[in-house]
C-alpha cells in the first residue's frame, strides 16, 4: 500500500533549539506517527530576539516517502 501526502504540524522550538511540543494539524493517520518521530528528533539553531534566546511556534509541512 502506497500512501502519500503532506503532514502539517505545529511545532514549538525551545530556547535551546530542541523540539518541545509537536501537534498534528493535518495529514493521513498512517503517516503521522513516523513523521512525528522524525520531527521530534530534529534540532534547530536557537532563535534570538533582541539578543536573547526565545521559544518559537512554527508550522512544518513534511512529505514522507516510503
Residue 66 pLDDT > 80, yes or no?
no
pLDDT, tens digit, for every residue of 20-65? 999 999 999 999 999 999 999 999 999 999 999 999 999 999 998 7
Q: How far apart are CA 61 and CA 32, in angstroms?
A: 11
| CB-CB contact of 59 with 11 (8 Å) | yes
Amino acid at each position: 500500500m502506497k500512501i502519500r501526502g503532506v503532514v502539517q504540524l505545529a511545532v514549538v522550538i525551545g530556547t535551546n533549539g530542541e523540539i518541545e511540543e509537536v501537534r498534528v494539524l493535518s495529514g493521513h493517520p498512517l503517516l503521522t506517527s513516523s513523521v512525528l518521530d522524525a520531527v521530534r528528533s530534529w534540532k534547530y539553531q536557537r532563535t534570538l530576539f533582541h539578543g536573547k534566546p526565545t521559544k518559537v511556534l512554527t508550522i512544518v509541512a513534511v512529505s514522507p516517502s516510503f
